[in-house]
Chain A
Amino acid sequence: MLSDTEKSEIEGIMEHAETKRSACVDALLIVQKYRGWVSDEALADVATTLEMSTAELDSIATFYNLIFRKPVGKHVIHVCDGISCWIMGGHNIRDHLQSRLGIKAGETTADGQITLLPGDCMGACDRAPAMIIDETLHGNLTIEQLDKVIDELKDGQA
């Protein structure tokens, strides 16, 4: 069941949309904003609201890199895998994150706190290497800075 807040936000989008289905990406992102990801059940509810088949909506949901059809951690780290970051040592940043967090890219820590994902070029090539944590961009990363950011993130959980 969609919550009342989710329903009213989706209806708000549909009000000025040309067709119901043209609100589908917004609707999926609204659900994800509140739940962290889009479950099968939530997807079916959105499909009903937009008068689409679940299969068709799922083919759209799974097309996008940032609509999550599996649960993710409380925080999601996107470490840039783009060419400019790679030149500037972005793979070292990813390797360090993997060993610090004890997970591989694509996985979530056992406590469910942090998911690590490789990300497409983040358009921060003048600040390479870069990563995005939730909605914050971190650029010109060094290993020391990275440790500090991760420590702060972990402290924030306590």
Chain B
Amino acid sequence: MNEARPLTGAMRSDRRALTIDEYEGVGGYQAARKALKEMSPKEVTAVVKDSGLMGRGGAGFLTGLKWSLVPMDDVSPGPKYLICNGDEMEPGAFKDRYLMEGNPHQLIEGMICAAYAIQAEKAFIFLRAQYFEAKERLELAIRDAHKKGYLGERIFGSNFSLDLQLHVSGGRYICGEETALISALEGQRPVPRSKPPFPGVSGLFGRPTVVNNVETLSNISHIVNHGADWFKGLSKTDQGGTKIFGVSGHVNRPGLWELPVGTTIREVLEVHAGGMADGYKFRGLLPGGGSTDFLVEQHLDTPMDYQNIQKAGSRLGTATMIILDDKTCPIGFIANLMKFFAQESCGFCTPCREGLPWLARMLYSFDRGKATERDIDILQEQTGKIWIGKTYCAHAPGAIEPLASGLKYFHKDFMDHIEHKGCPWS
């Protein structure tokens, strides 16, 4: 195994999935065997907690801590559930697709370890509707794992059994929010639920449930195999591990790379993505998908971990960055995102349902030459109103992030649209 790139080092260069034999050839299913035969559930949780692994879906909550909140032993008789969130729909994010298509068994093995740690008897992979390749490969991988006895009854001759099911969604961004995802799996209208109670205590069908991202779960087997210190040592900062970083936009080599947590934005952009494409200059970026704040030139030397990106004024999110160049209108950029978030609002709470479409219309009015300076003030005012604490879930605040930071860094572009009575780029 390539220890500097545990998640992707064993993947095939032709983008086909590793078969179960190929996966076992590079040490696959040894971690699950070790966990189930040599470790107690609490020991598995402990090593993940010690590793400092933070949720790779965007929020960055400590994975081991999340698991440790699940009631154990006789305190919690009856079913518990593990759910893998594979509903990747964040604008600009394409990393979970890569992990599920390239190494589905790594995900399944991580889920066996995770389900054992919380003593879940049933697990689900909640998959995005249009990930057809991932669906086929996961279905095959689940069948193959069953045949070998790695899923099903009494795995590796232990007392632990696990039923793993693949659920393909009907397609809606909000299903990636963990409580909406739970509602979706129950066959309810998938609107988010209020927390508390947290899913760890009362989740799917009212039972203790852990929801983890694909990349988070793909890390687990490696942590079980090599330990917490090894995992911490992979990173360049005190937040452990590697991360799948991505770049899209007008760069020379858009793509994904597994790199140490704490790699600088500049290194990802200039070394791995090959810098800006000919004729395009860098203006800014969203570091972690469509619902994160803009960062600009002055932030390029920021190490990409949760803490440092937050200090710079944004969020690591999915760590798949979207690059804004000098030939692309920043208002059009923000408007495209706002239209998406407006469309994907579940409609349950008013600031989100009514506010986001209003903001989208207002942003497009800059394009049509109908905007005035007063509109900039209104946009600014709303960034404080459609915000955390005033909405039911994090959807609308996420939509506000690129707008609020865009108003800060691209104020002149907003003014130019007013002066030109339209978009200077079109």
Where the two chains meet, the residues of A that have a C-beta atom closer than 8 Å to any C-beta of B are 16, 18-26, 28-29, 50, 52, 56, 59-61, 63-67, 78, 81-84, 86-88, 119-128, 132, 135-137
Contacts and interface: CB of A to CB of B under 8 A. Distances in A.
A23 B187 CA distance: 7
A84 B173 CA distance: 16
B249 A87 contact: yes
Among B186, B248, B344, chain A packs the most CB atoms within 10 A around the CB of: B248
B190 interface: yes
A22 B187 contact: yes
A132 B340 CA distance: 18
B40 interface: no
Contact of A88 (B88, B250, B336): B250
Contact of A87 (B170, B190, B250, B256): B250
Nearest to A63: B189
How big is the B interface, by class?
35 or more
Contacts of A83: 91-92, 290, 322, 333, 336-337, 340
B151 interface: no
Contacts of A60: 187-190
Given A82-B92, A120-B89, A121-B92, A66 B130 contact: yes
Given A86-B336, A87-B325, A128 B248 contact: yes
Interface in B185-202: 185-190
Nearest to B256: A126
Interface in B118-177: 128-133, 163, 165, 167-173
A125 B190 contact: no
Contact of A25 (B94, B131, B169): B169
Contacts of A56: 189
Given A29-B168, A84-B322, A123 B131 contact: yes
Interface string B308-349: 000000000000101111001000110011001001101000
Contacts of B133: 137
> Main SS of the interface on chain A?
mixed
B186 A19 contact: yes
A22 B190 CA distance: 12
Given A64-B171, A66-B170, A120 B344 contact: yes
Given A21-B186, A28-B170, A121 B91 contact: yes
A77 to B, nearest CB: 12
Given A66-B129, A66-B170, A135-B132, A125 B333 contact: no
Contacts of B171: 64-67, 120
B173 to A, nearest CB: 6
Nearest to A132: B130
Given A87-B322, A87-B328, A120-B173, A125 B130 contact: no
B187 A125 contact: no
5 closest residue pairs by CB, A with B: A64-B170, A125-B248, A66-B171, A21-B187, A84-B248
B57 interface: no
B170 A67 contact: yes
Contacts of B343: 120
A103 to B, nearest CB: 20
B115 interface: no
Contacts of B97: 123-124
Interface of B: 88-94, 96-97, 128-133, 163, 165, 167-173, 184-190, 205, 246-250, 254-256, 290, 320, 322-325, 328, 332-333, 336-337, 340, 343-344, 346
Given A16-B165, A78-B130, 7 more contacts: A22-B185, A63-B346, A67-B170, A82-B336, A86-B332, A123-B88, A132-B130
B202 to A, nearest CB: 15
A61 B320 CA distance: 31
Q: Which residue, A16, A22, A136, has most C-beta atoms of chain B within 10 A?
A: A22
Contacts of B188: 21, 60
Given A64-B171, A81-B340, A84-B91, A24 B246 contact: no
A17 to B, nearest CB: 8
A84 B132 contact: no
Nearest to B253: A126
B340 A125 contact: no
Contacts of B165: 16
A88 B168 contact: no
Given A87-B250, A87-B333, A121 B172 contact: no
A126 B91 contact: no
Contacts of B246: 125-126
Contacts of A137: 132-133
Given A86-B336, A120-B89, A126 B254 contact: yes
B11 to A, nearest CB: 15
Nearest to A90: B336
Contacts of B130: 66, 78, 119, 122-123, 132
Contact of B290 (A121, A124, A135): A121
B93 A125 contact: yes
A63 B190 contact: yes
Contacts of A122: 130
A18 B205 contact: yes
Nearest to A82: B91
Nearest to B190: A63
A52 B186 CA distance: 13
A142 to B, nearest CB: 15
23 contacts: A21-B187, A22-B185, A23-B187, A24-B187, A50-B187, A60-B190, A63-B346, A64-B172, A66-B129, A82-B91, A83-B322, A83-B337, A86-B332, A87-B325, A119-B130, A120-B89, A121-B340, A123-B89, A123-B93, A123-B131, A124-B97, A127-B254, A137-B133
